[in-house]
Amino acid sequence: MWFVSRRRVLIDSLLAISFAASSLFLEGALSGGLAATRVSLALDFVILGRHAPFFVSLEKGYWSERGLEVSINRGFGGFDTARRVGQKQADFGFTDIAAAALLRSQGMRVTQVAVIYHNWPHTVFANPEIKKIKDLEGRVFGTPPGTTGMQLLSAFADVAGIDWSKVKVVNLDIATQNAALISGKVDAISTFRFFIPFFRSKIPNASIFPWTDYGWKMYSNGIVVHEDTLAQKSDVVRSFIEGALMGYKYALEHPDEAVEALLKHRPEIARDGAKAEQPFLKELVIAPEVFERGLGAFDPAKVAFSFDILYRYLGLPKTITPKEVYSDRWLSPIKP
């Protein structure tokens, strides 16, 4: 009798412990208390208003509800970002296709799995005397050496009908190129279209020539990832892409909220500057094919144009094929 009672007490105790443990597990699961998968995102440059959609993904829980805890870090140029992903110093990178393709040719196994900037962001800013793009001939053009834009300038010139041999190119530091144009040290520069409000305030009659207005159809920034991550953590990749694209969709529809999400995490950023970038961000993200294919999806015609430029002007070996650099296998496009 004593043995049976003691055995019953022991069984009841074990059942109670098991029930308590199950309850705690369920409570944690329901409240999101289970450990999330931590991943890092390296941006292309210092964090600015154009990066607000990623912070919307944080604030709206688009990543956390998919089991991801994402840290967002500034970048130091597109090539450096792609290199960090290639060296597994970051899980995901936000950088342009040229950087991904060229580093791929150097043995770094990076792949772009979603395109964000469907339209190329570079824009030529020039003094008011330059009325049309061909007027750059015979002028002084300033550019930082080693940037993607600088390496592609001669290609853009061919597409736009400029004789680049007649343009005097001088090297400028990326931090001083805007001042060089304003002061008249150079006649023109090329930088992102986000600077349109800035230059209009400094040079009211500045001439502005977006590359896309002259037949330039190359893809720009998107999400890149290492091949090993694709092979070993495909669910994580799918979840990250989906969360990011949902952030972009919401940010484009609610730009003021997007800015607030950004400032919550980066209060040092100027509110007015961040707000001014939102309309130009929409111009980069939304292209005609987006309405057909969805955010993030690749258009074969633009892929072909992009690689033709890379082969002809940047010396990308033709052994590096588009299917190695682009892939929509992990993508669930979201309509804008």
Per-residue H/E/C for the chain: CHHHHHHHHHHHHHHHHHHHHHHHHHHHHHCCCCCCEEEEEECCCCCCHHHHHHHHHHHCCCCHHHCEEEEEECCCCHHHHHHHHHCCCCCEEEEEHHHHHHHHHCCCCEEEEEECCCCCCEEEEECCCCCCHHHHCCCEEEECCCCHHHHCHHHHHHHHCCCHHHCEEEECCCCCHHHHHHHCCCCEEEEEHHHHHHHHHHCCCCEEEEHHHHCCCCCCEEEEEEHHHHHHCHHHHHHHHHHHHHHHHHHHHCHHHHHHHHHHHCCCCCHHHHHHHHHHHHHHHCCHHHHHHCEECCCHHHHHHHHHHHHHHCCCCCCCCHHHHECCCCCCCECC
Instruction: Check residues 134 and 45 and name the one with the higher pLDDT.
Output: 134
**Rounded mean pLDDT of 112-121?**
95
- The pLDDT > 90 percentage for the chain reads 76
**Domain segments of the chain: what residues?**
37-119+218-325, 122-214
Question: Rounded to an integer, what distance in angstroms lies between the CA atom of residue 229 and that of residue 213?
Answer: 37
Q: Residue 7's pLDDT is what?
A: 43
Q: Which region among 59-63, 215-219, 246-250 has the lowest average model confidence (pLDDT)? A: 215-219
334 beta partners: 295
> CA gyration radius for the chain?
25
Question: Rounded to an integer, what distance in angstroms lies between the CA atom of residue 219 and that of residue 117?
Answer: 7
pLDDT at 113 over 60: yes
- The pLDDT > 70 percentage for the chain reads 90
Instruction: Check residues 112 and 26 and name the one with the higher pLDDT.
Output: 112
In the block, which residue shows the tokens 């939304």? 286
The amino acid sitting at 243 is: G
Q: Residue 328's pLDDT is what?
A: 87
Mean pLDDT, the chain, whole residue set: 88
- The token pair at 273 is 């500057």
Task: Classify domain 122-214 by CATH architecture.
Answer: 3-Layer(aba) Sandwich (3.40)
**Rounded mean pLDDT of 16-22?**
39
Q: Residues 83-98: pLDDT tens digits?
A: 999 999 999 999 988 8
Q: Could you tell me the pLDDT band of residue 116, with boundaries at 50, 70 and 90?
A: very high
pLDDT at 313 over 50: yes
104 beta partners: none
Q: Residues 276-293: pLDDT tens digits?
A: 999 999 999 999 989 999
Q: Residue 335's pLDDT is what?
A: 85
Q: Which region among 9-23, 37-51, 298-312 has the lowest average model confidence (pLDDT)? A: 9-23
Q: Between vectors from CA 171 to CA 168 and to CA 175, what angle results, nearest 5°?
A: 135
CA distances from residue 283 to 119, 270, 272 in whole angstroms, order as listed: 7, 21, 19
pLDDT at 296 over 70: yes
Q: Residue 16's pLDDT is what?
A: 41
pLDDT at 189 over 80: yes
Closest CA to 182 of 164, 200, 159, 160: 200
- The token pair at 48 is 């600015």
CATH label, 37-119+218-325, candidates 3.40.50.300, 3.40.190.10, 3.30.930.10, 3.40.630.10: 3.40.190.10
Q: Residue 284's pLDDT is what?
A: 95
Q: Residue 333's pLDDT is what?
A: 78
**Rounded mean pLDDT of 62-86?**
94
pTM score, two decimals?
Answer: 0.84
Q: Could you tell me the pLDDT band of residue 34, with boundaries at 50, 70 and 90?
A: low
pLDDT at 251 over 80: yes
> Do 37-119+218-325 and 122-214 have matching folds?
yes
Q: Residue 145's pLDDT is what?
A: 79
Q: Residues 135-184: pLDDT tens digits?
A: 999 999 999 876 777 889 999 999 999 999 999 999 998 888 999 999 99
Q: Residue 9's pLDDT is what?
A: 39
